[in-house]
Amino acid sequence: MTSIGEVKLALEQSCEHLRDAYRCVREAQDSLDEAVDILVKAGAHHPESLVPPEFARAREKFADELELIVVSLEQVRRLTVEL
């Protein structure tokens, strides 16, 4: 049988992983923004955009992913407190 302490520990570890995931997604977002800026500058005199369309879609998804992580973290914290 699992104790409340073990569940709380697992939830605390989940919080840690979610915080790590948030940092990683933010770093990825920053890196992609930097790459897009470089490609835009490099392609300023190019007839076609050098920025792949997938980059634009990825940039749009970051906000949703970060929000999902934050909401999940809040839920895990709330459950931890309730235990």
4-82 CATH, one of 3.40.50, 1.10.3470, 1.20.1630, 1.10.287: 1.10.287
- Residue pLDDT, tens place only, 40-65: 999 889 899 999 999 989 999 999 99
Q: Is the pTM of this model over 0.75?
A: yes
Q: What is the dihedral of CA 58, 62, 15, 73, to 10 degrees?
A: -130
Nearest to 80 by CA among 27, 20, 5, 25: 5
- Residue pLDDT, tens place only, 4-37: 889 999 999 999 999 999 999 999 999 999 999 9
Residue 81, Cα to own-chain centre: how many angstroms?
Answer: 24
